[in-house]
Amino acid sequence: MKDIFAISKLIIKKKLKILSKDEKSSLKLFKEEYPFVKSVDFQKVVQKINNYSLVNKEEAWKVILKKSNKENNDSSIIPINRSWYKYAAAASLVLLFSLSYLFFTKETTVKNPVIVTSSIEIGSNKATLTLEDGSKIALEKGSNYKTATLNSNGEHIVYDSKGKIAEGQIGSNLLTIPRGGQFFIQLADGTKVWLNSESQLKYPVAFVDGKVRKVELVYGEAYFEVSPSTAHKGSKFEVFTKKQTVQVIGTQFNIKAYNDETNIYTTLVEGKVAVSIAGQNKFLIPKEQSDFDVIANSLKVSKVDVYSSVAWKEGYFSFRSMPLKEIMKVLSRWYDVDVAFENKKLENVKFSGVLRKDQDIKEILTTIKTIKSINAYEIKNKAIIIK
């Protein structure tokens, strides 16, 4: 992987015309050692950059710099023109994925999958809003919905932060995201929440400054960007899940608490949170994750790769040494499919990679099959069989 980052770096610098003499020699050596590099069509790479529009290009470039400069502190890599490095960041990511694919598959023979019939669609923005009176509103592209307190274009929902409601009259709404869906909501206090597939959030339609702001992640996964307490007369923000409470002052974090999983994960991106569960209390600092084992009733905290936990919000699947069984669970939620392993030994085979969520399921499976030598897979209607 180190070589892939290095190759990516050199090719991008060549295209930006900032390649030094030594780097030209290094690139030549790379091409001799890895002939597959010559097969990369840079024009196609450029065309694919738009597929990565959700990536924070400045942060992406920092990642590329960090990865590629671990052994060589070369400050000249940063282009003088700031627009160049934003372009280069996106290009580097696309090129990195292209090179990674070639690097891992150059000597692998791919068997054609068996696809009988397929009605599997890529996930999209959709949800069901349940109002205080129990009525349900289907939210999806092309369906607008508006009341005195909220506005939705069918793909996201924003609550009015200026509306005044008497404390005793504040009701709650329920937002349910189905399998094959995702959704964004901005709460009345300005807090932003991204909800993953098969998730449900319960929240008040308004908040009272000076009092604790409480929401409940009934099940599923959500990324919170909390409006700071200082903007609400010191009001703390609390997120309840099954058996767990996360107390927040103003921060960004991810909670994963699916009903069919026995662990609850809270990952802190920035700020500070306190996780309270089963009489146990832990404070998290950025890049830490709490892991509560429901069966063992144990809570532990560890350092993690934050990106792998929150990539779903940016339009990617990020798998880091993850068993195929767990990967298929993630894919089944997003593509709304059922997955079964005919070859049970493959369930524990681990895979690492970053894949786009807007890819057809067949592309995802073919990539995983190629890299990890899965014998075959079969798609029939909305079911996938791994062989």
Is the same domain home to 237 and 335? no
pLDDT exceeds cutoff 50 at 58: no
What letter would DSSP give residue 216? E
Q: How far apart are CA 319 and CA 385, in angstroms?
A: 20
What share of the chain has pLDDT > 90, as a percent?
48
Residues 202-227, mean pLDDT to the nearest whole number: 94
The predicted pLDDT at position 105 comes to 41
- Domain termination site, one of 275, 309, 343: 309
Question: Is 113 part of any domain?
Answer: no
What string of DSSP letters covers 243-258? Answer: TEEEEESS-EEEEEE-
Predicted TM-score (pTM) of this structure: 0.72
Q: Name the strand (E) or helix (H) holding 341.
A: strand 338-341
Higher-scoring residue by pLDDT: 314, 117: 314
**CATH code at 338?**
3.55.50.30
Question: Is 90 part of any domain?
Answer: no
Is the same domain home to 165 and 292? yes
Question: Is 172 part of any domain?
Answer: yes
pLDDT exceeds cutoff 90 at 6: no
Is the same domain home to 216 and 252? yes
What string of DSSP letters covers 289-312? Answer: EEEEETTTTEEEEEE--HHHHHGG
* Contact by Cβ (8 Å): 152, 160: no
What's the whole-number average pLDDT of the chain?
79
Question: Is 236 part of any domain?
Answer: yes
Is the same domain home to 220 and 352? no
Question: Is 47 part of any domain?
Answer: no
How many CA atoms are closer than 13 Å to the CA of 241, on its beta-carbon side? Answer: 26
Is the same domain home to 149 and 199? yes
Q: Name the strand (E) or helix (H) holding 89.
A: helix 82-105
Is the same domain home to 180 and 303? yes
Give the highest mean pLDDT range of 44-53, 56-65, 83-92, 339-348.
Answer: 339-348
Residues 199-220, mean pLDDT to the nearest whole number: 94
Is the same domain home to 320 and 288? no
E strands, 145-287, are 145-146, 150-152, 156-159, 172-177, 181-186, 192-195, 199-204, 213-225, 237-241, 244-248, 252-257, 263-270, 273-277, 280-284
Is the same domain home to 143 and 291? yes
Is the same domain home to 136 and 164? yes
- Domain termination site, one of 290, 309, 328: 309
Is the same domain home to 264 and 366? no
Query: What is the layout of strands, in order, in the sheet containing 377-381?
Result: 114-118, 377-381, 383-386, 338-341
Question: Is 13 part of any domain?
Answer: yes
Question: Is 359 part of any domain?
Answer: yes
The predicted pLDDT at position 367 comes to 85
Rounded to whole angstroms, what are the CA distances from 197 to 127, 287, 335, 338? 9, 24, 9, 14
- Domain termination site, one of 259, 276, 309: 309
**CATH code at 298?**
2.60.120.1440
> How many domains does one find in the chain?
3
pLDDT exceeds cutoff 70 at 363: yes
Is the same domain home to 382 and 281? no
Question: Is 362 part of any domain?
Answer: yes
Domain, as residue range, for 26 = 1-40
C-alpha angle 309-310-312 in degrees, rounded to nearest 5: 110
Is the same domain home to 302 and 361? no
Q: How far apart are CA 4 and CA 2, in angstroms?
A: 5
SS3 assignment, position 326: helix
